Amino acid sequence: MTLVAELSALVPGATVLPEGERAAPYERDESGLGRYPPQAVVLARSVDDVVAVLRYSREKRLPVVPRGAGTGKSGGALAERGGIVLSLEKMDRIVEVSRADMVCVVQPGVVLETLQKAVEEQRLFYPPDPNSQAMCSIGGNLAHNAGGPRAVKYGVTSNYVLALEAVLPDGTVVRTGHRSWKGVAGYDLTHLLVGSEGTLAVITEATLKLIPLPRRVETLLAVFPDEDAAAGAVQAIFDAGLLPRACELFDGPTMRAVGPRAPFKFPDGVGGALLIEHDGHGDGVTEELARSGELCTSQGALEVLAAQDEAQRRKLWETRRMVSVALTDIRPFKISEDVAVPRGQLIEMIRAVRRIGEKHGFPTASYGHAGDGNLHVNLLFRGADERARGEAAIDEVIETAIRLGGTITGEHGVGLAKRRFLRKEQGEAVVALQKRLKRAFDPDDLLNPGKIFP
Ligand code: MLT
Ligand code: ZN
């Protein structure tokens, strides 16, 4: 029997796709790292399907690569070594939203926006959003511990995960954590699995913490002569004791790239911008936004524009969400990093990126979650042949982030894209310890092999 025939017999409720046209979307993700065709794709519909595929993988010594919506940016869902791509997209039920317990229980295939809408109907809030809520799934968010613009105030995905159901590589189903908001029994396996990029177990259900939905959200955009002034304003806002729920920076090249396609038109002659949002439950929100605006002005902002209604607010956020794609309008190729540095080092990081770009002869564009020091640094180039030279420049970007006390990845994960840097950040002993953990879960190295580790 062929692999596909065997799998189809094993998981009759699931869809099994052979290598070829229908499986083509599963060969790639949003990392731009290329195509990696799996031998088969299984679209699981139940925990039993996941169990069966993992047992089969062990028996046949075939790698299994778990996959959410394929929106990842580090290559975590690519079948680098072939094998079976195990898609969780059809396990997309919101099992429960409980106001009494302020939790929800979800399957991994739920699209983030669907979950957000469902909980908001009950005036509850699930804050994490990696800026792709219309496409990304909760499973991918859990695997990579997604962050996004609101992480500066509300934290990242792991801050909201209370319990998991997951299938270990040998097919054992485990339940970790608790539905209660508190619980400290034993090792915190829940938060070991969150962010483990599908290398330790396949998550099949999650219990997530919800908080009250803020009644007021107010947003402004401040434009500056350059990005250094914008970064200076970030510092001033936090120094003043304010905690915006988003504090996003655009540098000049980013603004010029996104300008032509964006619904919001930046004024002419500006070279940096901040998108700032405050939220809460009373009038204090307006005051805080006004204070942030004043601080921007005192740091040299040329204009501060407060969104007057929901439509204006949406335009600003749509503009922000377009950035990643818009950058390829000015140069077709880019290497994107998502380093994070301590907030106090933000200006230094931005300057270093500019210097590195100039030294290697590449335009750069930096933007992102300035409030928590998580910058999306992009090297832009014309042809794929420039990539090798770009990699050398990226090494310097990464080294700078580490030297400034930061990390190689603030939110996209290591995957394939950053594994060569892991040792640089964490050192041999910590990498070796993590590899021992990997072996304890997956002694045959069949679950998402090759990811994370150098
Ligand atoms: C974002 O913040 O927009 C996302 O992390 C994607 C990116 O821009 O790289
Ligand atoms: Zn981001």
List, as one string, the DSSP characters of 97-108: EETTTTEEEE-T
Amino acid at 168: L
pLDDT at position 268, please? 87
- Measure 218 CA to ligand 1 centroid, in angstroms: 22
Closest-lying ligand 1 atom to the alpha carbon of residue 73: 9
Mean pLDDT of 369-388: 93
Separation CA 228–CA 225 (nearest Å): 9
| Residue closest by Cα to atom 7 of ligand 1 | 324
Domains and CATH numbers, the chain: 3-87 (3.30.43.10), 94-212 (3.30.465.10), 216-324 (3.30.70.2190), 331-403 (3.30.70.2740)
Q: Would you place residue 237 in the very low, low, confident or very high pLDDT band (cuts 50, 70, 90)?
A: very high
CB of 368 sitting under 6 A from ligand 1: yes
Top mutation candidate among 135, 136, 327, 376 for ligand 1, by most atoms within 8 Å of CB: 376
| DSSP annotation of 134 | T
383: pLDDT strictly greater than 90: no
* Exposure of 201 in the CB half-sphere (CA atoms within 13 A): 26
pLDDT at position 388, please? 87
**SS3 sequence, 394-418?**
HHHHHHHHHHCCCECECCCCCCCCC
- Locate the DSSP E strands across 332-434: 333-337, 364-369, 374-381
pLDDT at position 304, please? 98
CB of 319 sitting under 6 A from ligand 1: no
Mean pLDDT of 398-405: 98
- Measure 154 CA to ligand 2 centroid, in angstroms: 15
Strand pairing report for 272-280 and 333-337: unpaired
CB of 324 sitting under 6 A from ligand 1: yes
pLDDT at position 330, please? 87
Separation CA 86–CA 334 (nearest Å): 29
385: pLDDT strictly greater than 90: no
Tell me how far CA of residue 367 lies from CA of 371, 378, 379, in angstroms. 11, 9, 12
219: pLDDT strictly greater than 90: yes
pLDDT at position 23, please? 95
Residues with Cβ < 8 Å from 427, sequence gap 6 or more?
none
Strand pairing report for 40-43 and 211-212: unpaired
Burial of 3 (0-12, 13-18, 19+ CB in 10 A): middle
pLDDT at position 387, please? 86
CB of 376 sitting under 6 A from ligand 1: yes
C-alpha dihedral (438, 440, 444, 449), degrees to nearest 10 = -10
pLDDT at position 393, please? 94
pLDDT at position 384, please? 83
Helix or strand run (H / E) with residue 280: strand 272-280
Mean pLDDT of 237-244: 98
- Measure 373 CA to ligand 1 centroid, in angstroms: 14
Residue pLDDT, tens place only, 313-346: 999 999 999 999 999 888 888 999 999 999 999 9
Residue pLDDT, tens place only, 40-99: 999 999 999 999 999 999 999 999 999 999 999 999 999 999 999 999 999 999 999 999
φ, ψ of residue 135 to 5 degrees: the values are -115, -40
Number of helices followed by number of strands (H, E) in the chain = 14, 18
Closest of 93, 127, 104 to residue 179, by C-alpha: 104
- Measure 231 CA to ligand 1 centroid, in angstroms: 18
Residue pLDDT, tens place only, 124-145: 999 999 999 999 999 999 999 9
* Cross-strand partners of 364: 379
Mean pLDDT of 152-169: 98
- Measure 365 CA to ligand 1 centroid, in angstroms: 12
407: pLDDT strictly greater than 90: yes
Separation CA 183–CA 178 (nearest Å): 7
Residue pLDDT, tens place only, 171-183: 999 999 999 999 9
pLDDT at position 327, please? 93
CB of 133 sitting under 6 A from ligand 1: no
Token match 């655009």: residue? 250
Average pLDDT, the chain: 97
Adjacency order of strands within the sheet including 103-106: 94-98, 103-106, 202-209, 161-167, 173-177
233: pLDDT strictly greater than 90: yes
